[in-house]
Structure 1
Amino acid sequence: MRGWLVAALMAVLALGPAGAQERDPAIPGVIQSQIDAFLADDFVTAFTFASPNIKRLFGNPDRFGTMVRQGYPMVWRPADVQFLEQETKGGAIHQKVLITDAEGVPHVLDYQMIPTPEGWQINGVVLLVAPPVGA
């Protein structure tokens, strides 16, 4: 059942909104690099991929790491990561990511990416609520 749910969710999300644009290939690399740092419990490196706003909000890598472990456990310890569509909204690029957690549950997250002098950085992540399938 979960396999069917994931396939159906991916098919719907792959269609993307009308505002979808050509992918910036650097963005998935930035997100994957941060996830790789989380998998290594390297919150200092993971924090480098956060935007200046996120860095100001959390102040240091330890507080940032605590937030991720508690609020986004599927990002801290994903079983699978798949990059979906990108779109531009309000001057930022949003990258949707399908993350399957250790229990096999799919989660769709919207990463807001902004350009900075250091390159693309993550300015926020929102967990999207998927509509029930087959309800």
Structure 2
Amino acid sequence: MRVWMSGFILAWAPVVAVAEASIEDVIGAQISAFQQDDFAGAFAYASPTIQGIFGGPDRFGEMVRQGYPMVWRPEDVRYLERREIAGRVWQRVMVRDTKGVLHMLDYQMVQVDGMWRINAVQLLQMPGAGA
């Protein structure tokens, strides 16, 4: 039984690695588009739900500039753990802004037509920060 389980895990390892890379690629591509003020490009990485809420790249870009300036102009981006919670995939990302302040975010990812898209972003309290 153990041998079979090991083989099963090894057989699935490449699939997991591809999925992990593609999630990071999508988040990174959206951040790169923000850095270039390419809000249409960044909007393309949002899920249909998010696109429906904002209606277009201009409103979406304004929301990011106002609500998530650390994502619009990050100094550094680090991908941390990925989790599945209640059937949803969440990617934890730590961002250092241009003032050197660290921010922790959770990106909810969904697959649309076989491609990962960003369905939500939550700004989290940094560990050790006061309430």
Fold shared per TM-score above 0.5: yes
| 2:68 alignment partner in structure 1 | 72
Gaps of 5+ in 1: 1-21
| 1:27 alignment partner in structure 2 | 23
Amino acid across the alignment from 2:24: P
What secondary structure sits across from 1:115 in the alignment? strand
What secondary structure sits across from 1:45 in the alignment? helix
What secondary structure sits across from 2:30 in the alignment? helix
Amino acid across the alignment from 2:95: I
RMSD: 1.6
Amino acid across the alignment from 1:74: M
Count of residue correspondences: 113
The TM-score with structure 1 as length reference comes to: 0.80
Q: Deviations 1:110-135 (Å, cap 9, x if unpaired)? A: 000001115000000000102326xx
The TM-score with structure 2 as length reference comes to: 0.82
Amino acid across the alignment from 1:36: S
What secondary structure sits across from 1:125 in the alignment? strand
| 1:107 alignment partner in structure 2 | 103
Give the Cα separation in 1 of the matches to 2:86 and 2:61: 28
| 1:13 alignment partner in structure 2 | none
Deviates more, 1:85-94 or 1:59-68: 85-94
Amino acid across the alignment from 1:130: M
Instruction: Give the 4+ runs in structure 1 shifted more than 3 A.
Output: none
What secondary structure sits across from 2:127 in the alignment? coil
Mapping of residues 51-62 of structure 1, within 5 Å? 51-62=47-58
Amino acid across the alignment from 1:132: G
Amino acid across the alignment from 1:76: W
